[in-house]
Structure 1
Amino acid sequence: MRQRRWIELFSDYDCEIRYHPGKANVVVDALSRKEVVRPKRVRALNMILQSSIKDRILAAQKEAVDEFAVLQKGLDEMIE
């Protein structure tokens, strides 16, 4: 859509658009860039979770739910 608008705008004027490939341009544009494919590095990560971590997560989640319930109850009381 953006290109179509520019073409319509330039069609009203007597002008010529010329494309110069990469080395002729001071700043390389998107059409003349060469795609550089870099190899991806992958590292394996092994983790062993201790059973106490799961319990701590569950306790923190329960605490957050309880705090939300208290706030919700307070809001309900304020509305009434």
Structure 2
Amino acid sequence: MSRPQIVDQVEDVRDELDLLVRDLRLGIRGAGHLDTLEERAQAIAAALVAAFRGDAGRPASVPVRLSRNGRGVWA
């Protein structure tokens, strides 16, 4: 199976970034919430890097996909 184009992968991540920005605008409710938001940001960043470098560009320990509600994270 061929790898999706970079632009398609970046576009997929855009939706997750939009959700993160929305949640940040709602306010940070505490240290635990901040940690969760940071984890989502790290996953978004890793997915962006993976779009350009492929699987070899992402560390195995960093999640790169989030569910739409931001609760499910997977590599």
Q: Name the TM-score, length of structure 2 as normaliser.
A: 0.33
More strand by share: 2
More helix by share: 2
Higher RCO (CA-CA < 8 Å; seq separation 6+)? 2
